[in-house]
Amino acid sequence: MTYLREARALATATIVNYVPFVRAFLNDRFGKGRVTLSRLCAGDVVRFAQRQAQRMQPKRAKLLTAALRSFLRYARYRGDITLDLSAAVPVVANWAMPSIPRGIAPDQTRQLLASIDRRSKTGLRDYAILLLLARLGLRAGEVVSLELGDIDWSAGRLCVRGKSTQCNELPLPADVGKAIATYLIRGRPRSTCRRVFLRARAPITGFSGPSGVGSVVRHAIQHAGIDAPTRGAHQFRHGLATEMLCHGASLGEIGELLGHQHPQTTTIYTKVDIKALRTLAVPWPGGVQ
C-alpha cells in the first residue's frame, strides 16, 4: 500500500478497491498454499482476468485489470518476478461514452430533500450530505473524507480531496453551509474524529468508505418513495452536470466544478443535451420524408 500511495500517488479509495482483486487473484492461483510469485506466468494472469471479467460490468472489469497491472508491476519492481506480466493483462473493451448518464431530475431532488426529517440528529446529517451531493456534485468518497479543517467559513469555501491527493477548492453555497453548520451544532455527536460526518451508531467515527454515503442516499430515496434513476450517490453528480449544461454552462465550467482531471471525462454530458444536439443535425436532403 505504501508503494501505491507514495510511488504511484494513488488515492486511498483506489488502493482499497485494488486490494480485494489482488487477494482474489493470489487465492485463485495458490489457494491455501504458499504464495510464490516467481511461479506466476502469463497464462495465470490471462485466465483469471478473462474468467472474472465475464461476470462484471465493464467499469468494474477495468478496475480489476488496473489492480492486476499495478500489482504485477510492483512484484517486478521488488524482483519477485522477472517478466513484465502486467503486459499480459487483457484490455477490457470500452466503447467511448456507451450510455447517457442517469441523473436525478431537479424536481426529484427537491422532493427528496423536503422528505428528510430535520428534527432528528440523523436527519440533520443526511440533509447536509444530500445537499453536498446535489449542489456541488461531490463524489461519495469526497463527502466521506471531508474534515472540519476543510471548511473555510470566513471565505465561504470548501477544500475537496478528489481522486488525486490535490485539494479542489469550491465555493460553499449559503444553503449548504447552513445545513452543515446546523448539523455540527445540533446533530453531530461528540468525538475526537476530525471527519465532518460521523456514524449515528457506535463506534462514533467517520464512515468507513463511500458505501456509507450510498446507504444514506438509498434509505432517503426509499423513505421518500421516489422513482429515481438509480439508488446511488453518483446520480446527483450527473443530475447537476445535466442541469448546468441545460442552463448554458460550458463543459469547462462543469469539469472544473466536478473536479475532472481530463476534459474527455466531461464530454459524456454532451449526450444528454438533446435539444442542443438537434441544432447541429444536418437537414435531410429533399425535406422531411
Per-residue pLDDT tens for 220-266? 999 999 998 888 888 888 878 777 766 566 666 666 666 655 555 54
Residue ranges in the chain modelled with pLDDT below 70: 1-14, 93-101, 162-166, 245-289
With contact defined as beta carbons under 8 Å apart, do 217 and 144 qualify?
no
- Strand, coil or helix: what is 91? coil
C-alpha cell at 132: 453536498
Residues 144, 197: contact at Cβ < 8 Å? yes
Give dist(CA 170, CA 174) in Å, integer. 13
Q: Interior CA angle at 201 toward 229 and 203, to 5°? A: 120
Residues 240, 142 contacting (CB under 8 angstroms): no
pLDDT score recorded for residue 277: 45
What is the residue extent of each domain of the chain? 2-88, 106-237
Residues carrying an active site annotation: 139, 163, 234, 237, 260, 269
Task: Return d(Cα 31, Cα 50) in angstroms, integer.
Answer: 19
pLDDT of residue 280: 44
- pLDDT of res. 74: 87
Burial bucket for residue 76 (CB in 10 Å: 0-12, 13-18, 19+): middle
| Res 266: pLDDT | 46
What grid cell was written down for 178? 447552513
For the segment 24-58, what is each residue's pLDDT rounded down to a tens digit?
999 999 998 899 999 999 999 999 998 988 888 88
Whole-number CA gyration radius for the chain: 22
Please enumerate, as own/partner, the contacts of 50-58 that have beta carbons within 8 Å and a separation of 24 or more: 50/90, 52/24, 53/90, 53/92, 58/92, 58/93, 58/94, 58/98
The answer to whether residues 124 and 182 touch, using CB atoms and an 8 Å cutoff, is yes
Say whether 157 sits in a helix, a strand or coil: strand
CATH of 106-237 among 3.20.20.70, 3.50.30.60, 1.25.40.10, 1.10.443.10:
1.10.443.10
